[in-house]
């Protein structure tokens, strides 16, 4: 124990001996030698080779085992996840049979400390003590009676029934339900009272007290419970001949801007429920995360936009008029607020520094009471009144804002829309107050061609009063169509380019490693970045379809090398990788970060040809 406390025995935390390279399905025999084309089109033979003492490349078939100790590693992210692989080793001298070693890896990720599943290494004697505790607790639990009928003095109860309730006693072998009324004897004693009287309450209370001590007794007997949740290893150490090693794999989902993850190890030695000491930390491992997101082309993409000189905007308001009148009254109904809203619209347009107001077309509509001809004339008169009112307001506003020399005169044009039957039909269809049968009748009568006869047919309906009160007033609306033009623009249309924001979000999603969302945004473009999203998601054939149609660049060659490697076509994979490296030497160093390319480099010693 003194040696452990002094730090003589330190648990190990190390990277796995070899970077994990996923199995690549290969349907053909892999050869150590192949012929490809170099950048000048000449034949180049690729084989297992080393440099001799003279610096010449010679074939080699020697496998040299080596152990590399390092505290950092580049790991590749694929389809949004990363596997962190490391080994936890325990010196043989720490594997005492009376101890349990509790090793707790801690992950440091983007400023957070995340405890990982612990690893428990349990000595044989320690486990035996645990099991004995469980056995003692099991015996204690077995002594708790769960059947409450156990405490009833059954023979005495039967004698009571035989003497006082012979009818029920005759059915003592019957399992039928008996009501409390049937239980009651001539002496007025219920069945519940009889059972309670013949129950041994002392033994029952003692049993209940014992059951209430279950948790306390568990803690007494089982000082160190056997954990079964969130564990990576819980095993018995039996006469070990060397160090214990556990290969730990932690899969994490990538996050936006995640570049590095660090792993440290905390540990302690336990004997039963006592912590004897903490173990020295073996240091920190660092995983640098590489991703295909770095292949995204960040250049801006632009859209061509057609800009029209003329612009239209419209709105409607409900102006109340006296029956049969066309005069504007701001004090009638909701006119003050409705007309105030239109005034605000006119003011905003006049003060806008991008548009000039050319004209305002005002169309008034009437409800269907009365004749259609009279209503059409009335609607035209009301439109004229509204035009005169707002023309006067516009002139006043221009004068008050001292804008008379800055804007052209605004023309107000009046139109009479007559009876607003289109809005009437829409409001009836959308109404939820009238009966379904009434609405269907009204809509059927909309087929009557003569508008006066159509309105007359409604008057016999029970819902006619509802129409007059709630539907007709909403038909007396006034529509305003504002016709504007862009200031300083002479041509009717011009073409301009603007950034494609959807494409920009798709590229950013690749950078954030949200590949599903990136593909959703980029799929219509079918370009290089779409292929990057496909490769990152493992949709290899779709990615190859796009890349094969693009110009040959170091980026496209490298991605195609990854895809051919996934297809098991080593020859084409090596050819495209070498093409990428010959055009851009950065890919010589990039290759070891991607599992598919790392497989090729290791299989054919590819990077020796670039030394």
Q: Which domains does the chain have, with CATH numbers?
A: 2-137+224-291 (2.60.40.10), 151-221 (no CATH), 304-420+476-494 (3.30.1330.60), 500-610 (1.25.40.10)
**Span 155-184, average pLDDT:** 70
**pLDDT surpassing 60 at residue 307:** no
Residue 608 or residue 607, greater confidence = 607
Higher pLDDT, 45 or 467: 467
Question: Of 95-99, 398-402, 493-497, which has the strongest mean pLDDT?
Answer: 95-99
Give the pLDDT band (50/70/90) at residue 54. Answer: low
Q: Residue ranges of the alpha helices (H) in 431-568?
A: 436-445, 451-458, 464-466, 501-511, 515-522, 528-537, 540-547, 554-567
**Is pLDDT above 50 for 176?**
yes
* Residue 369 confidence (pLDDT) above 60: yes
Confidence of residue 381 (pLDDT cuts 50, 70, 90): very high
- Phi-psi domain of 411 (left: phi exceeds 0; alpha: psi -120 through 50; beta: other): beta
- Structure confidence at residue 402 (pLDDT): 67
pLDDT tens figures, 390-402? 999 988 888 877 6
- The CA distance from 433 to 463, in Å, is 10
Mean pLDDT (the chain) is: 81
Q: Can you say how many angstroms the Cα of residue 255 is from the centroid of all Cα atoms in its chain?
A: 12
Question: pLDDT tens, 255-278?
Answer: 777 889 999 999 999 988 889 889
Helix (H/G/I), strand (E/B), else coil: 425: helix
User: Does the structure show a pLDDT above 60 at 601?
Assistant: yes
Question: d(Cα 380, Cα 227) in Å, to the nearest integer?
Answer: 87
Predicted pLDDT of residue 398: 83
Question: What separation in angstroms does the CA of 231 have from each of 268, 353, 510?
Answer: 16, 68, 35
Euclidean distance between CA atoms 331 and 344, whole angstroms: 18
Tokens of 597: 């390319």
| More confident position, 486 or 218 | 218
Structure token digits, residue 381: 């008169």
Q: How confident is the model at residue 178 (pLDDT cuts 50, 70, 90)?
A: low
Structure-model confidence comparison of residues 241 and 303, the more confident one: 303
Query: Distance between CA atoms of 26 and 564, rounded to whole angstroms?
Result: 11
C-alpha distance from residue 200 to each of 189, 197, 203, 204 (Å): 19, 8, 6, 6
∠ Cα 300 301 305 (to 5°): 130
Quick one: what percent of the chain has pLDDT higher than 70? 80
What's the rounded Cα separation, in Å, for the pair 286 and 71?
Answer: 6
Query: Are the C-beta atoms of residues 198 and 183 closer than 8 Å to each other?
Result: no
Q: What pLDDT, on the 0 to 100 scale, is given for residue 20?
A: 43
Higher pLDDT, 559 or 176: 559
**What pLDDT score was predicted for residue 306?**
55
pLDDT tens, position by position, 471-483: 998 888 888 888 8
Residue 403 has pLDDT above 70, yes or no: no
> What pLDDT sits at residue 39?
59
pLDDT at 21: 42
User: For the residues 517-529, what does the mean pLDDT come to?
Assistant: 93
Please tell me which of 42-46, 92-96, 219-223 the model is most confident about, judged by mean pLDDT: 219-223
How many other CB atoms are there within 10 angstroms of residue 507's CB atom? 23
pLDDT of residue 493: 60
Query: Could you say which DSSP state residue 471 is in?
Result: I
How far apart, in whole angstroms, are the C-alpha atoms of residue 228 and residue 162? 55
- The residues, ordered by sequence, that sit 6+ positions from 323 with a Cβ below 8 Å of its Cβ are none
Q: Rounded mean pLDDT of 171-177?
A: 66
Tell me whether residue 372 is exposed, middle or buried, using C-beta atoms within 10 angstroms of its C-beta: 0 to 12, 13 to 18, 19 or more. Answer: middle
Is residue 594 scored above 70 in pLDDT? Answer: yes
Strand partners, 426: none
Query: What sign results for the dihedral spanned by CA atoms 212, 214, 216, 217?
Result: positive
Give the span between the Cα atoms of 482 and 317, in whole angstroms: 14
Identify the bridge partners of residue 106 per DSSP, sorted by sequence position.
Answer: 115, 264
Per-residue model confidence (pLDDT) at position 46: 54
- What mean pLDDT is predicted for residues 553-574? 94
- Residue 285 has which token pair? 């491992």
d(CA 536, CA 296): 11
**pLDDT band at residue 292 using 50, 70 and 90 as cut-offs:** confident
Q: How far apart are CA 223 and CA 544, in angstroms?
A: 61
Handedness of CA 410, 411, 416, 422 (dihedral sign): negative
Residue 349, pLDDT > 80, answer: yes
**Both tokens of residue 325?**
């009148």
* DSSP labels, 26-40: -SSPPPS-EEEE-TT
pLDDT tens, position by position, 440-459: 999 999 999 999 999 999 99
288 close to 73: Cβ distance less than 8 angstroms:
yes
Strand order in the sheet with 12-15: 12-15, 81-90, 244-253
The band of 595, judged by pLDDT with boundaries at 50, 70 and 90, is confident
User: Is the CB of residue 198 less than 8 Å from the CB of residue 151?
Assistant: no
What pLDDT digit, counting tens, does each position of 413-424 carry? 999 999 999 999
Query: Residue 572, SS3?
Result: helix
The encoded tokens of residue 62 equal: 């020697």
Residue 246 has pLDDT above 80, yes or no: yes
Phi-psi region of 130 (alpha: psi -120 to 50; beta: other; left: phi over 0): alpha
Q: Could you give the CA distance from residue 414 to residue 389 in angstroms, rounded to a whole number?
A: 12
Query: Comparing C-alpha atoms, which of 294, 260, 275, 259 is closest to residue 223?
Result: 275
- By percentage, how much of the chain surpasses pLDDT 90? 31
The most confident of 298-302, 407-411, 486-490, by mean pLDDT: 298-302
Q: Cβ(282)–Cβ(12) under 8 Å? A: yes
Determine the 3-state secondary structure of 216 from DSSP. helix
Q: At residue 610, does pLDDT exceed 80?
A: no
Mean pLDDT of 161-171: 72
Min mean pLDDT across 100-114, 166-180, 267-281, 311-325 is at 166-180
Q: Provide the pLDDT confidence category of residue 492 given band limits of 50, 70 and 90.
A: low
Q: What is the pLDDT of residue 188?
A: 64
pLDDT score of 9 more than 50: yes
Backbone dihedral region for residue 234 (phi beyond 0: left; psi -120 to 50: alpha; all else: beta): beta
The more confidently predicted of residues 443 and 154 is 443
Note the pLDDT tens digit of each residue in 203-243.
889 988 989 998 999 888 888 888 777 666 654 444 446 67
Q: Which residues pair with 405 in a beta bridge?
A: none
What's the rounded mean pLDDT across residues 482-493? 72
Q: Does 69 have pLDDT greater than 70?
A: no
């Amino acid at each position: 124990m003194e040696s452990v406390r002094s730090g003589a025995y330190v648990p190990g935390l190390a990277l796995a001996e070899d970077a994990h390279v996923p199995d690549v399905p290969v349907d053909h025999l892999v050869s150590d030698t192949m012929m490809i084309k170099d950048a000048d089109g000449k034949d180049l033979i690729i084989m297992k080779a080393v440099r001799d003492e003279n610096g010449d490349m010679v074939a080699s078939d020697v496998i040299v085992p080596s152990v590399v100790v390092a505290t950092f590693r580049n790991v590749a992210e694929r389809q949004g996840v990363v596997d962190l692989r490391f080994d936890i080793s325990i010196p043989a001298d720490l594997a005492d049979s009376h101890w349990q070693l509790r090793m707790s890896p801690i992950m440091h990720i983007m400023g957070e400390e995340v405890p990982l599943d612990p690893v428990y290494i349990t000595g044989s004697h320690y486990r035996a003590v645990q099991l004995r505790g469980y056995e003692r607790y099991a015996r204690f639990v077995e002594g708790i009676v769960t059947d409450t009928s156990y405490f009833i003095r059954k023979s005495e109860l039967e004698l009571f029934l035989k003497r006082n309730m012979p009818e029920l006693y005759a059915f003592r072998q019957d399992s039928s339900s008996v009501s409390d009324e049937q239980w009651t004897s001539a002496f007025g004693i219920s069945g519940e009272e009889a059972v309670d009287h013949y129950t041994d309450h002392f033994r029952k209370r003692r049993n209940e007290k014992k059951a209430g001590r279950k948790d306390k007794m568990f803690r007494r007997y089982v000082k160190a419970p056997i954990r079964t949740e969130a564990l990576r290893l819980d095993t018995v150490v039996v006469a070990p001949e060397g160090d214990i090693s556990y290969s730990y794999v932690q899969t994490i989902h990538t996050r936006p801007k995640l570049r590095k993850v660090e792993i440290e190890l905390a540990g302690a030695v336990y004997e039963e429920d006592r912590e004897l000491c903490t173990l020295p930390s073996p240091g920190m491992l660092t995983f640098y995360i590489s991703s295909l997101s770095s292949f995204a082309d960040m250049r801006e993409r632009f859209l061509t936009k057609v800009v029209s000189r003329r612009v239209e905007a419209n709105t409607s308001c409900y102006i109340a008029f006296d029956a049969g009148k066309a005069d504007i009254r701001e004090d009638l109904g909701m006119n003050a607020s409705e007309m105030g809203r239109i005034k605000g619209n006119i003011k905003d347009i006049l003060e806008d520094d991008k548009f000039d107001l050319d004209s305002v077309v005002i169309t008034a509509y009437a409800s269907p009471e009365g004749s259609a001809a009279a209503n059409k004339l009335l609607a035209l008169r009301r439109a004229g009144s509204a035009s005169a009112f707002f023309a006067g307001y516009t002139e006043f506003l221009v004068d008050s804002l001292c804008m008379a020399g800055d804007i052209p005169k605004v023309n107000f044009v009046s139109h009479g829309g007559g009876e607003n039957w289109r809005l009437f039909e829409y409001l009836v269809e959308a109404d939820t107050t009238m009966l379904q049968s009434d609405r269907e009748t009204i809509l059927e009568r909309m087929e009557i061609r003569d508008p006066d006869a159509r309105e007359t047919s409604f008057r016999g309906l029970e819902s006619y009063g509802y129409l007059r009160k709630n539907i007709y007033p909403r038909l007396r609306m006034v529509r305003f169509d504002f016709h504007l033009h862009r200031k300083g623009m002479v041509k009717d249309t011009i073409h301009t380019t603007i950034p494609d924001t959807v494409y920009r979000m798709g590229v950013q999603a690749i950078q954030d490693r949200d590949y599903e969302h990136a593909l959703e945004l980029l799929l219509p473009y079918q370009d290089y970045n779409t292929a990057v999203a496909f490769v990152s998601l493992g949709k290899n054939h779709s990615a190859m379809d796009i890349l094969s149609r693009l110009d040959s660049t170091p980026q496209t060659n490298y991605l195609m090398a990854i895809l051919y490697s996934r297809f098991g076509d080593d020859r084409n994979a090596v050819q495209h990788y070498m093409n990428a490296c010959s055009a851009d030497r950065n890919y010589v160093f990039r290759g070891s970060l991607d599992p598919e390319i790392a497989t090729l480099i290791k299989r054919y010693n590819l990077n020796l040809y670039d030394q």
